[in-house]
Amino acid sequence: MRTRARVFAVIAAFAAATILVSAQTPSKAPRTPWGAPDLQGLWDTNTLVPLERNPQYGNRAQMTEDEHARALAELQQRNQRPGRDSREVAGKSGVGTEKDVARAYNEFWFGDKPTKLSYRTSMIIDPANGRMPPSTPEATKRIADKREFLAALLQGTSGGRPGPISPRRKESSPDYNLDRINRADGPEDRGGPERCLGDNLPVTMGTGTFGGVMQVVQAPDSVSVYYDVGQGQGFAWVIPITNRPHLPKNIQLYRGDAVGHWDGDTLVVDVTNFSDETNFRGSRQNLHLIQRFRRLDANTLQVEFTAEDSTTWTRPWTAVQELERADDKTTVVLEGGCHEGNYGLMGMLLNTRAAEKAFAEGKGPDPATQDNATGGGDN
């Protein structure tokens, strides 16, 4: 009996050691011809995971079966509601139909692939509550100053406070403006998306075509990522594999200065030197971003990023997303042309100049009294 017990003990110990070694051994990603981990391919996601966690889940990273079923039912119910392209009017049947404009513009960009709901409660994994850390007092003041500026430009308009036109209409924005404001004296008065300053790093991929498709192409000294995101807001990001230091701090770039290196099977990309034209959830030129790309298996690419900015958040925070390998026979990555010369922005400015000229000639209302920022009325 003692001998048999010893044999079982040895077998159990061997099995435990095998499991431990297996758990500690990183997965081996496919290799390029020059020996680097192969991250190449088309990657997207049809699995919904919110960036921030609903407080009802506390520090739990996964939903229970019942919670997932309820969340899925709520998602399906929302998806059955008329889209924003619908001309249906509540309580008035026959006033336009949804079908005549359904998917005519906005809905087209969302694609028609089935969407799955993940059991994960958030992309954010640190802090433990799955939510972004609090803003610093400095960031809170920046937000308050900008809101005050935006509100002042609405004074005297149909959508703002009653009274004369705000004397602050000629003031400059307290930051490099990327918001929709009630003025069109120049391109800097228009919002970022109108000026083709929409998506920037890090890209948190959504679902379907609107969320985007990511194409990765590698060379021995670089990794190139092309994001086909939004409505023509796609862009190429070339990551050099190098040990050079970052550029001097006075050189600032819209998508920062990236320096990449391999850490085992993981591509680690350190990005600094952003400009004030960048805006990632309130962080601008002080953003420090570390992204990690790791291929978990043949069909899964894990993308993780840590964002740090001591002038915006009280602590760094980290988010993770798993992307699925797309079918390269049916998935097409398109060049991001935005407005193709941005004639739309030119038209907005020309329209305002024409309205100002007409008002000076006694025709039409003063454009300064019109609300072009909030939608007017009580919106």
Higher pLDDT, 144 or 14: 144
- Condensed to tens digits (0 to 9), the pLDDT of residues 135-191 reads 999 999 999 999 999 999 988 887 676 778 888 888 999 999 999 899 999 999 998
Give the confidence band of 13 by pLDDT, cuts at 50, 70, 90: very low
46-60, 189-203, 206-220, 339-353: range with lowest mean pLDDT:
206-220
Q: Which pLDDT value is given to residue 110?
A: 54
Percent of the chain at pLDDT > 90 equals 54
Q: Does residue 225 lie within any of the structural domains?
A: yes
Between residues 73 and 159, the one the model is more confident about: 73
- Per-residue confidence band for 340, with pLDDT thresholds at 50, 70 and 90: low
Write out the H or E segment, with its range, that includes residue 303.
strand 300-308
Does residue 112 have a pLDDT over 70? no
For residue 51, being part of any structural domain is answered with no
This prediction has a pTM of 0.82
Contact indicator for 153, 168 with CB cutoff of 8 Å: yes
The two three-digit tokens of residue 33, written as one number: 């011809």
Rounded-to-integer distance, Cα 22 and Cα 25, Å: 5
Q: What is the C-alpha separation between 239 and 257, in angstroms, rounded?
A: 9
Report the pLDDT value the prediction gives residue 337, as an integer from 0 to 100. Answer: 72
pLDDT of residue 106: 55
The pLDDT value recorded for residue 81 is 67
A 10 A CB-CB count for 154 gives 18
Burial of 224 (0-12, 13-18, 19+ CB in 10 A): middle
Asked, for residue 232, whether it belongs to a domain, the answer is: yes
Q: Which of 104-108, 132-136, 331-335 shows the highest mean pLDDT?
A: 132-136
List C-alpha distances in Å: 13 to 8, 18, 20, 23, 54.
Answer: 9, 9, 11, 15, 42
> How many degrees, rounded to 5, is the angle at CA 109 between CA 106 and CA 115?
115
Tell me whether residue 297 is in a domain.
yes
Give 221: exposed, middle or buried? Use CB within 10 Å, 0-12, 13-18, 19+.
exposed
Q: What is the number of structural domains in the chain?
A: 1
> 181: Cβ–Cβ under 8 A, 6 or more apart, which residues?
149, 150, 153, 173, 189, 191, 373
Say which residue, 131 or 3, is predicted with more confidence. Answer: 131
pLDDT of residue 231: 64
Q: DSSP secondary structure string, 10-45? A: HHHHHHHHHHHHHHHSPP---B-TTSSB---EEEE-
Task: Please determine, for residue 306, whether its predicted confidence score (pLDDT) is greater than 60.
Answer: yes
With respect to residue 218, please indicate whether it lies within any of the assigned structural domains: yes
Distance (Å, rounded) from C-alpha 38 to C-alpha 219?
A: 10
The residue range of the domain holding 319 is 208-325
Residue 227 lies in a domain: yes
Which of the four pLDDT bands, split at 50, 70 and 90, describes residue 113?
A: low
Q: Is residue 53 part of a domain?
A: no
User: 139 Cβ partners below 8 Å, 6+ apart?
Assistant: 282, 311, 312, 313
Residues 86-109: pLDDT tens digits? 555 554 544 455 555 555 555 555
The better pLDDT of the pair 316, 211 is held by 316
Confirm if 120 and 128 have CB atoms less than 8 A apart: no
What pLDDT, on the 0 to 100 scale, is given for residue 235?
86
CA atoms within 13 A on the CB side of 29: 23
Predicted confidence band of residue 28 (pLDDT cuts 50, 70, 90) = low
Q: The domain that contains 269 carries what CATH number? A: 2.40.128.20
pLDDT higher than threshold 50 for residue 12: no
Residue 304 clears pLDDT 80, i.e. is over it: yes
In angstroms, rounded to a whole number, what is the distance separating the alpha carbons of residues 62 and 53? 10
Count of residues making up the chain: 379
> Which range in 80-89, 276-285, 333-342 is most confidently predicted, on average pLDDT?
276-285
The answer as to whether 224 is a domain residue is: yes
Instruction: Give the Cβ contact number of residue 245 at 10 Å.
Output: 8
Share the mean pLDDT of the chain: 82
**Average pLDDT score over residue span 282-308:** 96
Q: Tell me what the mean pLDDT of segment 51-74 comes to.
A: 95
